[in-house]
Amino acid sequence: MTGTQRSSEGLDPRRRKVLFRCWHRGMREVDLLLGQFADARIDKLSEEELDQLENFMEAQDADIFSWFAGSKPVDPAYDAPIFATI
């Protein structure tokens, strides 16, 4: 069970893939952070924001969780405007 409340119907293939990846990270806490964001915003993100989100998802789950928890500074390679938006 993913937790998603949004259907991928009507999304282009790239957005479908990003939505799926946001909900299937491996660490449940990060699934919830990114998945809920994607549910709410995937259809509204610009191409640049999608690029940033795809790059952000390359980071390790433990790092992403630490950045959101504030226990570790965000790696400059992932500190894009999408981080603040999430």
pLDDT given for residue 2 in this prediction: 56
Report residue 20's pLDDT band, with 50, 70 and 90 as the boundaries. Answer: very high
Distance (Å, whole) CA 23 – CA 64: 14
* 8 A C-beta contact, residue 42 and residue 29: no
For the stretch 36-67, pLDDT in tens is 999 999 999 999 999 999 999 999 999 999 99
pLDDT given for residue 48 in this prediction: 97
Distance (Å, whole) CA 32 – CA 23: 7
pLDDT given for residue 1 in this prediction: 43
H or E segment at 34? Answer: helix 28-41
CATH number for the region 13-85 comes to: 1.10.150.250
Torsion from C-alpha of 68, 71, 77, 79, nearest 10 degrees: 40
Average pLDDT over residues 20-38: 94
pLDDT given for residue 6 in this prediction: 74
